[in-house]
Amino acid sequence: MEPPNDHYDSPWKEAIEHYFQEFIAFFFPDAYRSVDWSKEHIFLDQELRAVVQDAELGTRFVDKLVRVTEFSGSESWIYIHVEVQGTKQAEFSKRMFVYNYRIFDRYEKPVASLAVLADQHKHWKPTSYGYNVLGCRLTLDFPVAKLTDYDEKLDELLASDNAFGLITAAHILTRQTRKKHQERYEAKLRLIKVLYQRHWDKQRVINLLTVVDWLMTLPAWLDTKVWQEIETIEEHKNMKYITSIERIGIAKGRVEGRIEGRVEGRVEGESKLLKRQLERRFGALPAWAIELLSNANEPSLEAWGEAILTAQTLEAVFNSEASH
């Protein structure tokens, strides 16, 4: 039986949320040194979707908006906009530009846009977008980390104390072993053994094992062998980290993450379609309607989609949900 297609977005999203400080330190050390990490950083995923939900500029792999405090002599908020892009896309640079100015327009605070390129095209490395017309010039230059630059540095990655050394190695090995089950099994075991050799605390091991397991999917019979090897490693090292319940939780999280990703993609698509239909019928939408669409769940979108057929006003479309 074939394993499901590789899914990169959910494990990367999970890893960035767990280890954002390490993510910035690993890929963008200059930016890392400019942030006051003693202050809380806040993820603003819903706010990002609301700001850019109608900017249809290619498929996103992972995007994040994070509010941090800058080292500047006095406390000041800035925003870090992160894109992890999994495929080569002509509109990628434009999306970075559009998202940056929309976030700035929303918050009127400095915005740093940072990109990790996780595609396989070694020479594709966009770093700017802008225009120059009638003496007016506007350009966004953004820092980029390219994962293919690490292809020949696996040993260095695996020796790193930073979580994203292991995660980047896992990503590279996942790409290299696509449809090569035995090679992926061996590569996955290598990563797991390194993980246990690091002597990290239990929760960190479980979190990173979850990411590796999520990235490097295998047929069921090889997956069983992996877990048998983990049991052997834990017995040998006398460190019982992964209980049977935690193993079930890891598998459940992997499945739920894939389902969640599919549902989020479907809801986002339905929201964009309904927005276009509403605009064709009622003209440009007010801010309150855009806000409702960007935060809607699937049942609400279905109810509004039915109501648009008979409702005489925009308000009537959204009020229709109360009758369902």
Cα distance between residue 93 and residue 115, in whole Å: 10
Q: In what order do the strands lie in the sheet with 62-70?
A: 42-43, 62-70, 76-85, 111-117, 144-146
Q: Report which of 32, 18, 26 is spatially closest to residue 205, judged by C-alpha positions.
A: 18
Cα distance between residue 303 and residue 293, in whole Å: 12
Cα distance between residue 162 and residue 158, in whole Å: 9
Domain 34-150 has CATH 3.40.1710: no
Taking only the tens place, the pLDDT of each residue in 54-74 is 666 555 567 899 999 988 756
| 276 has pLDDT over 90 | no
Q: Report which of 194, 186, 192, 198 is spatially closest to residue 242, judged by C-alpha positions.
A: 192
Cβ atoms < 10 Å from Cβ of 67: 17
Which of 65-69, 145-149, 288-292 is predicted least confidently? 288-292
Q: What residues does each domain of the chain span? A: 34-150, 276-323
Taking the model in full, what pTM does it have?
Answer: 0.72
